[in-house]
Structures are given as structure tokens and as C-alpha cells.
Amino acid sequence: MKILFIADIVGNSGRKILSDKLAGFLDKEKPDFVIANAENAAAGKGLTRAIAQELFSLGINVITMGNHTFDRKEIVEIMDDPRILRPANYPPGVPGQGWGIYTASTNEAVGVINLMGRVYLPLIDCPFRAADAVIEQIRRETKVIFVDMHAEVTSEKSAITHYLDGRVSAVVGTHTHVQTADDGVRLSGTASLTDAGMTGPDEGVIGMDRDTVLKKFLTGMPQHFVEAQGDAVMQGCIVDVDAVTGMTRTIKRFSINTRGTK
């Protein structure tokens, strides 16, 4: 089973490059299931009902989120849609769900888990122990399990990859918006990539307008960040999973920009 993961979609530029390039990319790669992180899809912060619908209409099956999940109040109205996941390690009582089991185009079941790290991010429950509990439930139905670990630091993402090696198909990191070059399959068959990158503006500071970000760094004063304009990039990875064992054969990252230089 081929699973396509689209890295953090940021604002208009991210959605525009998806509407321009995703259909052709799907034709070429023929994934059986498509997951995208969209916590920055609405002008760089959060997600709206209309944007979620737009992303689903482009062929995305499941949307994962992160620390910006609840930045827009209207998200709560659509959090009961099982195709939208927020981190599973939010405390009990938080709206929405952190995992789900879906059907790929091969008719096989695929589990998806969204987790969030706790280093340099809002302190929520332990992602390691949340993963333990969820994996046990999903593995009763399928061994194909894709994890989006939304986290700031490499060490936390690497640690959870080793913790989950052999129990899930892939652990792919999101949040930093900078794609890492460490895609590979770990010793017990779990694919990993520390960060999948970004689908959004290519010329800003991790997607935001560089002038406002520079002003913050140069003056120390708070700034209202807006998304960067100009060229865009579409990044992510594709994993090829053995649907019987749930282990991954290959993982390959991709990076495509509007100028064709990536």
C-alpha cells in the first residue's frame, strides 16, 4: 500500500500549489491513501471548514493538525469529522479525535495517528504513552499505521521513532517546515523522516513574510506575522507499506517547487 503524506500546508500559496500540482502528482505516483498536515492552511494559522472541504476535494483523505489546531474557533464545529485529526495526546475532554481507521483504495484498512511533542510546545499529555494506548487499539484491526509526530525538536521525534519501531508503519515529523534528509527504514521496519517539510511559500521564513519576521528578530517587539508571497514548494514523502505485516518497504521524500528548481 502506497501512502502519500503532504507536509504542512501553509496558507494560500500552499493551497495554490496543491491545486496546480497535486492532481498530476497523484496520477504519477498513484498512492492508495493521502494524508496531509493542514494546521497552517488558513492564512498560516489553523483550518476552516471551507479549506478542509477544498483539501478533501483535491484527493486528501485525512487531515492532521498540531499546535495551531484550535487557533480558529470555527474548527470546533468540524472536529467531529473523523477525517480531521488533532493530536491524540491532548487531555481528555478536548474536542475531536487523535486517530482513526480508514479504508485505502486497495480496500485495506489504514490507521492514522496524530501526536504532538512537548519540547518547546504547549504542554499536553505524554505522546509516548498516548501512542501506546492508541496503537494497541488500532492493531486489533490493522497493522498499517501512519504517525504524524508534530514536534519542534529532532531528538523528541527521533526518540519516538525508535520507541515505535516495529509497531507502526511510519513515523513522520511535521511542524518545523524544513525538510530533513534522513528518510529511511529503521531496524524493525518502521519508516521515518524527522520532518516532511512544508507545502507553502518558498521565499519566507518557514512560510511567513520575511520582513515582519526580521523586524521581530531585530527589535524584539511582537509582530503580526502574515504568510509570505511568491514561489511555493510542495513537500512530503511516500511510503510503500506491506499491508500484511504493516512494515514499510521504502520511503522517499519529495520536494517540488513552482520554478522547478527543487
Of the candidate spans 79-87, 107-115, 167-175, 209-217, the one that interacts with Fe ion by CB under 5 A turns out to be 167-175
| Total residues in contact with Fe ion, by rule CB under 5 A | 3
The contacts found for 96-105 with CB under 8 angstroms, 24 or more apart, are: 96/69, 98/130, 98/134, 99/134, 99/137, 99/138, 100/62, 101/138, 101/141, 101/142, 102/33, 102/61, 102/62, 104/1, 104/3, 104/32, 104/33, 104/144, 105/32, 105/33
The nearer residue to Fe ion, 68 or 143, going by C-beta atoms, is 68
Q: Decide if residue 66 touches Fe ion (CB under 5 A).
A: yes
61, 67, 190, 192: which one binds Fe ion (CB under 5 A) = 67
Nearest distance from C-beta of residue 91 to Fe ion, angstroms: 18
For 16, phi and psi rounded to 5 degrees? Answer: -65, -45
Q: Decide if residue 44 touches Fe ion (CB under 5 A).
A: no
Of the candidate spans 41-49, 65-73, 76-84, 135-143, the one that interacts with Fe ion by CB under 5 A turns out to be 65-73
Rounded to whole angstroms, the Cα distance separating 182 from 252 reads: 10
The nearer residue to Fe ion, 167 or 175, going by C-beta atoms, is 175
Nearest distance from C-beta of residue 150 to Fe ion, angstroms: 6
Nearest C-alpha neighbor of 186 from the set 239, 257, 148: 239
Rounded to whole angstroms, the Cα distance separating 127 from 228 reads: 32
CA atoms within 13 A of residue 37's CA, in its CB half-sphere: 40
For residue 64, give the C-alpha cell: 492532521
Reply yes or no on whether 150 is catalytic. Answer: no
Nearest distance from C-beta of residue 104 to Fe ion, angstroms: 26
Q: Decide if residue 175 touches Fe ion (CB under 5 A).
A: yes
The nearer residue to Fe ion, 2 or 86, going by C-beta atoms, is 86
Q: Decide if residue 176 touches Fe ion (CB under 5 A).
A: no
Nearest distance from C-beta of residue 127 to Fe ion, angstroms: 14
Active site residues: 68
Where do contacts with Fe ion occur on this chain (CB under 5 A)?
66-67, 175
